[in-house]
Structure 1
C-alpha cells in the first residue's frame, strides 16, 4: 500500500512539474529584440507624452511585429547607442548607415530606405551660399554620425574646418548665433526640424551622398537567420505600401519612391 501511495505521489509530482514547464515555456519563448535609440532624435525617435514615437519607431515596430518579436527600446545618447551595439547590450540600432567600414564589424539587413546628407546654415544670417562656397567655413558634425565622411567623399577639394559636437541642440544654437557657419547632417532629420519645429536653418543647395540605412547585427550564425527573416519582412512591407505610408506620415515625402 505504501509503495502504491509513493508511486501515485511521484506520478503527481512529475505531472505537476511537466505542467509547470509548459506554463513557463510560453514566457521563455517570447521573442524580444533590444534596439538602441536616442530619446531626442526627432523625427526618428523621440519621446511624446511619455511614449517613444517617430519614423524609426514605426518602421521597427512594423518589421518586428510582422516576424513576431517584441521591441525593447534602450535609450541613450548616440555614442551610447554605438557602445551598446558593440558590447552586445543591444541587438541592433536605429538609423544606421550601412557603410563598407561598418560592414567590417557588423552584418546588415537589406536597407529600408536611403538617407542623404545636406549642409545647412542660418536662415537669419546665411554664411554659406552654395556647396562650392565651403572653403574657410567652420562646419559642425555630430559625434558618431557618418555625414562628415559623406561630405568629404562628395567635396574632397573643399578646404573647410570640421567641429564635432555631441548635441544637435547646441549645433542649432551656435549656427544661429554665428559661432559656426554651417551644419552637415541628415536631410530627413533637418527637413522635419525646419518644417515641423521651426528651427531657423535653411538647407544649402541639393542633398548629396546616397547612404543605405539598414539594421546592424553582430556577426553570428544566429543573427544571419534573423537577418534573413527581417529581409523578407522589409520586402513585404515595401511591396504592401507600409513603408511608404510611414515615410509620408513623418516627412510628407515617400523616400521609397525615390529609389524606384
Structure 2
C-alpha cells in the first residue's frame, strides 16, 4: 500500500525534532536541561565570584552568566548548591554549566570546558608577621583549604610530603574565622581569593615562596555537550572582542 505523501512528511519532521535540542528565541538549538533556560550551578559563598548581598545574588559569575544567557537568547536560572554539590549536579544532568571552574586533567575526564577567561595562581599564604618563610617550615603545621576545590586537591598532593595537617572547610567564612583565631598556620587558596579577603578583612598576608601553580578558569559543561560548549565559546569570544569581559573583570577583580 502506498503511504500518502503528507504522512511521510509529518513522520520525517517528528524524527528530526526528536533528536534536536531546545531552541532559543534566536532560533539556535542548544541541549539544555530546560527549554529556553540556561541552568547554572553556583555556590554563593565564594565572593567576589558568587555571593549573596541583602538577599540578592551578586558577583562576577552572576554577571557573566547573565550576559552569556542573554546573548544566547536564553533565560539565566541559578541553582544553589553546597561545595561539591554543583559538580555532582552537572554530572547528573541537573544543570547545564558551572562558571569559574579550574581546568584540570582529572576534571576533563568528567566534563568539558569552554575557553579560559580568567588566569590566577595557587598560593600558600601566611600572616605578614608569621615566622614561616619556606614550605619546609610548614612541616606538621595546620594548613587551611576550602573543600571540593582545586586548591584542596593541590594541597593534599603537594603538601602531603610535609606531614602538614590539611584542614578542609565547607565555607570561606569558617576558614577566615579560624585564621583569625590562630588555629591555622597557613592557607592554600588562589591569588584572587587571597587578594579579595585580604582587602575585605584589612590584614596583611605574605606568600610562602612564589606563586605555585597557574590556574585557568572556564565554564564547565556536561561531557560531550558540544553544541552548548561551542556556543558559550562563541559568546565568550564576542564578550572579549567588545571589551565587556574586560569591564566585568575590572568591576569585580580590581
Q: How far apart, in 1, do the equivalents of 2:189 and 2:249 lie?
A: 19
Matched residue SS, 2:133: coil
Matched residue SS, 2:212: strand
| Partner residue, 1:236 | 238
Matched residue SS, 1:217: strand
Distance change >3 Å, CA 168–CA 94, structure 1 → 2: same
1:130/1:204 contact within 8 Å kept: no
Query: 5+ residue gaps in structure 1?
Result: 1-24, 253-260
| Partner residue, 2:18 | none
Query: 5+ residue gaps in structure 2?
Result: 1-22, 28-34
Q: Render the CA deviation track for 1:225-260: whole Å, top value 9, x for unaligned.
A: 1111111111121122111111111121xxxxxxxx
| Partner residue, 2:3 | none
With 179-188 and 205-214 compared, the bigger mean Cα shift is at 205-214
1:154/1:208 contact within 8 Å kept: no
Matched residue SS, 2:211: strand
With 145-154 and 179-188 compared, the bigger mean Cα shift is at 145-154
Matches within 5 A, 1:215-226: 215-220=219-224, 223-226=225-228
Structure number with larger C-alpha Rg: 1
Q: How far apart, in 2, do the equivalents of 1:157 and 1:69 lie?
A: 48
Q: Does 1:54 align with 2:73?
A: no
Distance change >3 Å, CA 179–CA 219, structure 1 → 2: same
Q: Does 1:99 align with 2:104?
A: yes
Q: How far apart, in 1, do the equivalents of 2:235 and 2:69 lie?
A: 8
Q: How far apart, in 2, do the equivalents of 1:103 and 1:26 lie?
A: 27
Q: Render the CA deviation track for 1:144-186: whole Å, top value 9, x for unaligned.
A: 0011333467768644221222122221121222212111112
| Partner residue, 1:169 | 173
| Partner residue, 1:17 | none
Select the structure that is richer in helix: 1
Q: How far apart, in 2, do the equivalents of 1:171 and 1:245 lie?
A: 30
Aligned residue pair count: 223
Distance change >3 Å, CA 201–CA 76, structure 1 → 2: farther
Deviation of the 1:79 alpha carbon: 2.1
Q: TM-score, normalised by structure 1?
A: 0.76
| Partner residue, 2:193 | 189
Distance change >3 Å, CA 78–CA 249, structure 1 → 2: same
Deviation of the 1:130 alpha carbon: 4.0
Matches within 5 A, 1:63-74: 63-74=68-79
| Partner residue, 2:132 | 128
Q: Does 1:32 align with 2:37?
A: yes
Q: 2:207 aligns with which of 193, 196, 204?
A: 204
| Partner residue, 1:4 | none
Cα RMSD, aligned residues only: 2.5
Q: How far apart, in 2, do the equivalents of 1:164 and 1:179 lie?
A: 13
